[in-house]
Structure 1
Amino acid sequence: MVEQMEESPERLARPLVRLASMMGVATSYTGLSRDFHEISDETLVAILGALGIDATSDEAIEKAIADITRERNMRLIDPTVLHTVGKEAHVTLRTGITEPAQVSLILENGEPFAGELVINAMPEAKVHEIDGKFIAESDLILPAELPVGYHTLHVESGERSEDATLISAPERIEMLDPMKNGSLWGWMAQLYSIRSADSWGVGDYTDLRTLLTDGKRYTDADFLLVNPLHAAEPVVPLTPSPYLPVSRRFVNFTYIRPEDIPEYNTLDDDAKAKVKAAHQKVEGLNNDAQLIDRDAMWLEKKPALREVFDAGLSQERQREFDEYKARCGEDLEAYATWCLCYEMWGAPQDKADSWIHKMDKQSPEVIALREQHADTLEFYRWLEWTATQQLHLAQEAARTAGMKIGIMSDMAVGVHPLSSEVWWNPERFAKGATVGAPPDVFNQQGQNWSQPPLSPLALKNTGYRSYREMVRGMFDCAGAVRIDHILGLFRLWWIPEGHAAVDGTYVYYDHNVMLGILAIEASRVGGIVVGEDLGVVPPYVQKSLSEHGVLGCAVEWFEQMDGVFTPPKHWRPYALASVNTHDLPPAAGYLEYEHVKIRERLGLLEEGAEAFEASARAEHNAMLQMLTDEGYLDPSVLQDETAHETEIVEALYRGLKGSPCKLLAASIVDAVGEKRAQNQPGTDNEYPNWRVPLADAAGDAVMLEDLFRGDLLQSITKIMNA
C-alpha cells in the first residue's frame, strides 16, 4: 500500500494556505492513482478571488484572515444552523460577557415554538476581545422535539440582534415499504426521443404521462427515470443538452402539449385552426428516425401556445395562476425577465457589449422593457405555470395508475454561465471560476463543464434558500430525484477563469446541510433520492450518503476491477442499478462496439484505435465470461454472438435482476434494440448528442403507441418481474 503524502507543517503554516483552509479551499489533494498534488499559489489566489477574497499580496492575505476571524467572532449566531429531528443539538452563541442572549424561535408555519430553549455557559468558553469589547461563547440547546422544517432563530444581545435559518431535518430518507425487504424496478428514458402520433416532433409532457401509465399497465414498472427537465431558452436555437440548463429552479416549457391546456378548448374556430395548422407542419417529424429537431418544433409550437395564452383564463384559473406567481416570487420574475430580454435583444453572448453583461435586473432599460412588453412577460410566466401543471399531472397519473414512485427526475450539476439564475442573482455564484473535474485515466487533462459554481458562502448566508427552492420544485412533480455528480454536494473542482482544468482545486460545501434539505423535501412527498456516485468516491462520502438514506448507482458495465466483472449478487444493496448509462451506447450497440466505432470515426482515440479496440474486446469477453459463470447466459451462445445478441442482452438483465439493489432500471433503448448512443462525452456537434430519436434494431422510429408491444421489451419485462 502506498503511503499517502501530506503537506508539510511549514506549508500548512503559510498565511495563504491558512486562509484557503479557512474558506474550505483545498490546498492539496490525492488523485485517483494515489498521486499527491499540492495546489499552486496562483490557483489558490484565483479561487479565493472567485469567493470575493483578495489574496494578491501578503498584506491582503493577513487582512483577509483578520477580517474573516473578526466577522465570525462578532456574529451572534451562524447564519445557518442544522438540527436533526429527534436529537438534541448544540449551537454556539457569541455575546458580550455582560450581555446575555435572548433567543426566540419562529417555526416555518409562522407560529412561535412553545418549547423551552436553554442557554448554558460553556465551561471552557473562548473569550475574544474585539474593538475593546469582550465576546464570550455560550451553548444554545435545541431540543429533540423540534419539528421538520425551515425555521427562524432570533437572537438578541444588548443592542445587537441577528436571525439565523434553522434547518430541522429528518436523520435519514426512509426507504419505501416495498424497498425495505425487496426492490422496485422501472424504466429509464430520454423523454424528447419518444414521440407519439400526437407529438410535435419531440416527446412532451403528455407523452410522459402515457409512458408512465402504460409503463405500469403493461409492465408493472414503478418508476420512470427521465433526462433533466430543467428550463431552457425561449427562442431557437435550443441547447440540446439537458445537462446545461438555463435554470434548475424551473422546468422546460418546450415540452408543453398545447392541445392539453384547458384553455385550448375555449379557442374560437380561427385560433384553433392556427394551432392545428402549426401542428400539421411538424407532425411528420414524429417519424424521423435520424434526428430530433427541437428548433423546427419550437418555431411552430411557440406561436400556437401564444394563441392559447391570448384566449385568457377563467376566474378560477386566473386565481390558480396568481397563486403560482406569488408562490414562485422573484425566482419566476428572474426567469421570465431573462426570457423577455432574450427574445427582444437576442441571445446573450459572452461579450462586453451583450445585454447580459451591460445590464442587470435594476437597469432602467430592463425595467422599461418589462413595462413596455408586460403582456409578453406574462406569457413567459404562464408558459412556466402551464409546463409545471402538465408535469405535475403526469406524476399524479403515475401514482393513480399504481406506480410506487412515478417520475424520477434528474438534477443537473449546474446551469449555463449566461443563464437567468446567474444574471439575476450573480451574488449566488462564484465569479471567475467554473466547475469541472481533475485529471483521471479517462481525461488526462481534466474536464471543464463551463458552469459557474454556487458560492458556499452565499448558500450559508441565505439559509440555502436557492437550493431549498430548487429541490422543493423538483419534488413537487416527482417521487424521486437523481442527483448528477452527487459528490458536488461535498466538494466541487473549481477551475480559475482562463486556466486549464488541471489547474483547479476542490472547494468544499456543507454536505450535511444540503443532504438535510434533501431529506426534508423527500420526506414531505414520501420520495427517495439517488446520488450518481460513479467513479472513485472518498469513503467519507459513501458513509455520509448511506447514513442519510441516499442511494448510490451501480452500472453493470462499470462493476469491474482489474478486468474482472463483479457478479451482481455482490453489488451493494443501497443503489439504483442499471445495465448502462446515457453516456454509453445501448446494450446491443455496446456489444457491437459502437463506443469504439464512434471514437474511431471522430478521432477521439489518443492512444490509437487498435489499443482501445483491444481493451474493449477484453472487456466484452470478460462480461460474457461473468454472465456464463453466474448462470445468466448459456455458454453455447458464444459460438455465434451475432445470431444470439438478443439472448446476451436478456442475460445482462438477468444479471441486473440478480443483484440485491433496492432499485433496478431497465433502459427503453435496450428494450427496442436501439444501438446508437444518446451522448458521446467529449464532443459537441461532432456527434448528434441528445438529438437521437428512439429507433429499433432496423433503424425505424419506434412510436409510443407501439412501444410496449415489442417482443424484446416484453421479454425484459418478464425478467424484471420474475
Structure 2
Amino acid sequence: MSQYRESRERLERPLIRLAKAVGVATSYMGMSNDYHEIADDVLVSVLAALGIDASSDEAIAASLKTLLDDKHRRLVAPTVLHVEGSDSKVLVNVGVFDIPEASITLEDGTPYQGKVMPDSGDGSTAYWMNDAFVTTASVVIPADLPIGYHTLHVKVAGRTQDATLISVPKRIELIDAMKEHRLWGWMAQIYSIRSRESWGVGDFADLGTMLSDAKTKTGADFMLINPVHAAEPVTPLTPSPYLPISRTFLNFTYIRPEAIAEYGLLGEESRARVKQLHDSVRSLNTNTDHIDRDAMWAAKMQALWIIFKAGRTPERQAAFDEYKRSRGEGLEAYATWCLAYDKWGAPSASPSSWFVTTNKDSAEVKALRDRYPDTLDFYRWMEWIATEQLADAQGAARKAGMELGVMADMAVGVHPLGADVWWNPDRYANGATVGAPPDMFNQQGQDWSQPPLNPISLEKTGYLAYREMVHAMFAQAGALRIDHILGLFRLWWIPAGKGAKNGTYVAYDSAIMLGILALEAARAHGVVVGEDLGVVPEQVASSLASHGVLGCAVEWFEQMNGVFRDPRRWREMALASVDVHDMPPCAGYLQYEHVKVRAALGLLEGSVDDFQKSAEAEQRAMLRMLLNGGWISADCVNDVPGHLQQIIEGMYRAMTASPCKLLAAAIVDGVGETRTQNQPGTNNEYPNWRVPLADGDGNPIMVEGLFDQPRMQSLARVLNA
C-alpha cells in the first residue's frame, strides 16, 4: 500500500464503499502532511448521524442497496444546479428506450418560455432494478434561464417528478466601487462599544451612529461586526456570538428601546418606568472590567414589554403583520422556542427536558402557544423590531455614503439546544458535532459542540435552510463574511463520545452552496468574504477564486518558516487585516499579552520561557519585515515599548501596500486597547466576548467621539493615504 493511499482491499470493503457513496471520508491528510485512515467505529457512528445504518455486515449491504435503489428510482436528483450563461445537462433516470420531457416553473410561479430539450444518454451505465435496466439520459437547461430558485418538472414514460432548480450567476462580480479601486473599513465587536444612551451593552442604535461617523469622519466604507445571530430570550445569555440559537434570525438584545416607534405612544407613567429601568443599568456603560449582558437584559426586557403592550398604530400593526407573514414558519420556530424557554426553563439534553420530549407538533407545544398568545407575539415583535433597527443602521451607513455598510459575520453553526435544531431536527446530524482534527496548535483537536447540517437533508429540501439564512443576512448588510468557509466543502464531524481526535470529514456540495451565495450577493449587490485561514487545499482556493469569493489575509499569519511575507505579494482578492479577535490587539501583542494570558491560564504545552522566546523571535521577524519595507524606522526596532503607536501604524502602512481589494482596521488598534476579545481553549477562565472597549490606560471609550480620537484619526490617515 502507498503511504498516502488506501489499499485496493480497503477500498473494496462494503463499509468503505458505503461511506464514500455519501461523502464520508475514509482517510485524510493532516496539516503536517500526515496520512490517516479512519477507524471503522468512527465511520459507523458518522453514518448513523447521517441516518444510515452500518451497524453490521447485513445492515451495510442493505444500506448500500437502498442508496443505489433510491438514486435510480428517482427520475432526477432532488436539487440541481444551473449556471447562468451556459447550457446545463441534468441527468435523468430512464428506461432503455425512454426519452425524457421537461419544463420549468420560475420562482415567481410563471412558466419558463424557453425550451428544455432532451438529450439522449450514451448507454454507458445501467442499473438493474425491478426486473428492468435503468440507464441515464439528460435534459438541457438553456443558458438564458434567469437566476433564481425554480422548479424543474421531469416526465418519463408517464411518471413525473419535480426538482429544485437553482440557477446562479457564474461568479460574484465586484461592485463598481471595487473594480478599479479598493475599499477599507473598521472591525468592531459592537457589544463592547457603548454610548451614553446604551443599556450597558452596545446596540443597533450605537451601530448606526458608528457607521455614519466612520464614513463622515474617517472615510471608511464598511464595518465588519461580530455575528448578531439570535440568542436566548432570558438570562443567562451565552456570551459567544459564534454559538447562536438560530442563524436565520437576529439577536433582539441589541434593540434600543427608545428608538422604537411605539416608544412615542407611551404615557407619562410608562415612560418614567422605562427611564427608571434605563437608569438602573446606565452605570454599566463606563464599566471597563466586563460586559454584563445579563444585567442589561433583565432591565431592557422589562422596558420592551412595556413598549410592546402600548400597542401600535394601524399602519404599524399592518407592517408587523406583513413581517410575520413574510417570515413564516421560521419565525414561528424561533418565537415558539423562546416561549418554551421562557415558561419551561432552559433546555437541556436530559431525557426529561422539554427539548427532548416535545417537538413542533406536540400537543403540549400547541397548548403553550394557546395559553400565552401575548408572550408569543412579544417574541415575534422583538424580532421585527431588531430587524428594523439593524436595517436602520445599514440605512444610516448608506445615507452617509458608505459603499458597503454592514459586513455581517456568519457563524459556522448553531447551538445544539437551539431553535433551529429543535424545530427541524431532520436538517441536522443526530449524534455528531463539528470541530477540527488535531494540528500543531491543538493536539487533541477541537470540538465546537455544534451539530452540522445534514448534507442529505440539504439536497432533499433544495438547500432551503441555507438559502433562508443567506437571504436573511444579506437583507440588512452590504457584505457577508463566512466563518470557516472550508465548511462549504467539508466539515470535521465528531461522533458523540469519541473525542475530537476521532472524527472524519464529511463532504458538502460546494458548487451549490457557493452558487447560492453568488445568487443572493447578486440580488443584494453585495460582497462575500470567506474566512480561509490555515491550510486550504488547492482545489478549494481555486474554487473560491473562480466564484468571486474574497479570502482573508492576516498580517500576523502571513509568515512561513519564521519569515513574514512582504504584503506587496499578498493576493488581490482578499480582505486584509493586521490581527483577529482571537489574539490581542496590536498593542497587546507587541507587549506579549498573549504570553501572559496563556501562561496565567495554563494553556501552554511547553514552558513559559520557550513560548516567550518564540514570541520574541516572531516579533523580531515582524519588525524586520516592516523595517525592510520602509514602514518603520530603526528607532522602533531598538525601542518597541517607546514606539508602540509608530509600530502599529507601520503595520497598517505595510497592509496598505498590499493589492488586497478590502482592508480592515480594528477599532481596538485605533484606541490602544491591549486585551483580546476571545482566548481559544477557555470558557469562563477568561471573560471571552465580554471585554469592553478601553484605551491603553483602561479608560472607557464611548461611541460619542470615538472617531474623533487622535489615534483613530491618525490610523484613518494611514488607511486613506
- CA distance in structure 2 between the aligned counterparts of 1:507 and 1:195, rounded to whole angstroms: 41
Aligned residue runs from structure 1 range 109-148, under 5 A: 109-148=108-147
Offset at residue 268 of structure 1 (A): 1.1
Aligned residue runs from structure 1 range 262-661, under 5 A: 262-661=261-660
Partner of 2:81: 82
Offset at residue 181 of structure 1 (A): 2.3
- CA distance in structure 1 between the aligned counterparts of 2:371 and 2:162, rounded to whole angstroms: 39
Is the partner of 1:348 in helix, strand or coil?
coil
Offset at residue 99 of structure 1 (A): 5.0
AA at the equivalent of 1:544:
S
Offset at residue 137 of structure 1 (A): 1.6
AA at the equivalent of 2:675:
R
Partner of 1:201: 200
- CA distance in structure 1 between the aligned counterparts of 2:299 and 2:532, rounded to whole angstroms: 40
Partner of 1:695: 694
Measured against aligned partners, the alpha-carbon deviations of 1:118-160 in whole angstroms (never above 9, x if no partner) come to: 0021133533331123333211000000001000011223443
Measured against aligned partners, the alpha-carbon deviations of 1:519-578 in whole angstroms (never above 9, x if no partner) come to: 000000110000000000100000000000000000000000000000110111111000
Is the partner of 1:557 in helix, strand or coil?
helix
Partner of 1:258: 257
Q: Is the 8 A contact 2:227 2:409 kept in 1?
A: yes
AA at the equivalent of 1:187:
W
Scaled by the length of structure 2, what TM-score is found?
A: 0.99
Question: How high is the sequence identity, in percent, across the aligned residues?
Answer: 58
- CA distance in structure 1 between the aligned counterparts of 2:354 and 2:464, rounded to whole angstroms: 27
Measured against aligned partners, the alpha-carbon deviations of 1:264-298 in whole angstroms (never above 9, x if no partner) come to: 00111111111111111011110111110000000
Offset at residue 102 of structure 1 (A): 2.9
- CA distance in structure 2 between the aligned counterparts of 1:557 and 1:124, rounded to whole angstroms: 55
Is the partner of 1:396 in helix, strand or coil?
helix
Partner of 2:161: 162
Q: Is the 8 A contact 1:125 1:138 kept in 2?
A: no
- CA distance in structure 1 between the aligned counterparts of 2:99 and 2:640, rounded to whole angstroms: 78
Q: Which moved more, 1:152-161 or 1:22-31?
A: 152-161
Aligned residue runs from structure 1 range 92-241, under 5 A: 92-97=91-96, 100-241=99-240
- CA distance in structure 2 between the aligned counterparts of 1:578 and 1:155, rounded to whole angstroms: 49
Offset at residue 612 of structure 1 (A): 0.8
- CA distance in structure 2 between the aligned counterparts of 1:650 and 1:276, rounded to whole angstroms: 42
Measured against aligned partners, the alpha-carbon deviations of 1:163-202 in whole angstroms (never above 9, x if no partner) come to: 1000000000011222222210000010000000100000
- CA distance in structure 1 between the aligned counterparts of 2:487 and 2:335, rounded to whole angstroms: 28
Q: Is the 8 A contact 1:483 1:530 kept in 2?
A: yes
- CA distance in structure 1 between the aligned counterparts of 2:586 and 2:238, rounded to whole angstroms: 27
Q: Say if 2:50 is the partner of 1:55.
A: no
How many corresponding residue pairs? Answer: 720
Measured against aligned partners, the alpha-carbon deviations of 1:317-368 in whole angstroms (never above 9, x if no partner) come to: 1111111111111111100000000000000012111110111111111110
Q: Which moved more, 1:282-291 or 1:178-187?
A: 178-187
- CA distance in structure 2 between the aligned counterparts of 1:358 and 1:637, rounded to whole angstroms: 63
Q: Which moved more, 1:541-550 or 1:346-355?
A: 346-355
Partner of 1:246: 245
- CA distance in structure 2 between the aligned counterparts of 1:136 and 1:20, rounded to whole angstroms: 24
Q: Is the 8 A contact 2:100 2:138 kept in 1?
A: no
Structure 1: give runs of 5+ residues left out of the alignment: none
Q: Which moved more, 1:206-215 or 1:704-713?
A: 704-713
Q: Is the 8 A contact 1:148 1:520 kept in 2?
A: yes
- CA distance in structure 2 between the aligned counterparts of 1:543 and 1:276, rounded to whole angstroms: 55
Q: Say if 2:40 is the partner of 1:41.
A: yes
Is the partner of 2:665 in helix, strand or coil?
strand
- CA distance in structure 1 between the aligned counterparts of 2:603 and 2:243, rounded to whole angstroms: 22
Q: Is the 8 A contact 1:206 1:394 kept in 2?
A: yes
Q: Which moved more, 1:270-279 or 1:192-201?
A: 270-279
Offset at residue 637 of structure 1 (A): 2.0
- CA distance in structure 2 between the aligned counterparts of 1:122 and 1:353, rounded to whole angstroms: 55
Partner of 1:712: 711
Is the partner of 1:503 in helix, strand or coil?
coil
- CA distance in structure 2 between the aligned counterparts of 1:43 and 1:4, rounded to whole angstroms: 21
Is the partner of 1:681 in helix, strand or coil?
coil
AA at the equivalent of 1:595:
H
Is the partner of 2:449 in helix, strand or coil?
strand
Q: Which moved more, 1:583-592 or 1:87-96?
A: 87-96
Question: Using a 3 Å threshold, how does the CA distance of structure 1 residues 28 and 202 change in structure 2: closer, same or farther?
Answer: same
Q: Which moved more, 1:158-167 or 1:658-667?
A: 158-167
AA at the equivalent of 2:273:
K
Q: Is the 8 A contact 2:122 2:137 kept in 1?
A: no
AA at the equivalent of 1:45:
V
Measured against aligned partners, the alpha-carbon deviations of 1:93-137 in whole angstroms (never above 9, x if no partner) come to: 113345543322100111100001100211335333311233332
Partner of 1:666: 665
- CA distance in structure 2 between the aligned counterparts of 1:137 and 1:271, rounded to whole angstroms: 69
AA at the equivalent of 1:712:
R
Q: Is the 8 A contact 2:582 2:678 kept in 1?
A: yes
CA RMSD of aligned residues (A): 1.0
Measured against aligned partners, the alpha-carbon deviations of 1:472-505 in whole angstroms (never above 9, x if no partner) come to: 0000000000000000000000000001111000
Structure 2: give runs of 5+ residues left out of the alignment: none
- CA distance in structure 2 between the aligned counterparts of 1:661 and 1:157, rounded to whole angstroms: 51
Offset at residue 241 of structure 1 (A): 0.2
AA at the equivalent of 1:594:
E
- CA distance in structure 2 between the aligned counterparts of 1:513 and 1:144, rounded to whole angstroms: 17
Q: Is the 8 A contact 1:4 1:34 kept in 2?
A: no
AA at the equivalent of 2:606:
E
AA at the equivalent of 2:556:
W
Offset at residue 608 of structure 1 (A): 1.4
Scaled by the length of structure 1, what TM-score is found?
A: 0.99
Q: Which moved more, 1:551-560 or 1:155-164?
A: 155-164
Measured against aligned partners, the alpha-carbon deviations of 1:442-490 in whole angstroms (never above 9, x if no partner) come to: 0001000000000000000000001000000000000000000000000
- CA distance in structure 2 between the aligned counterparts of 1:162 and 1:260, rounded to whole angstroms: 50
Offset at residue 638 of structure 1 (A): 2.2
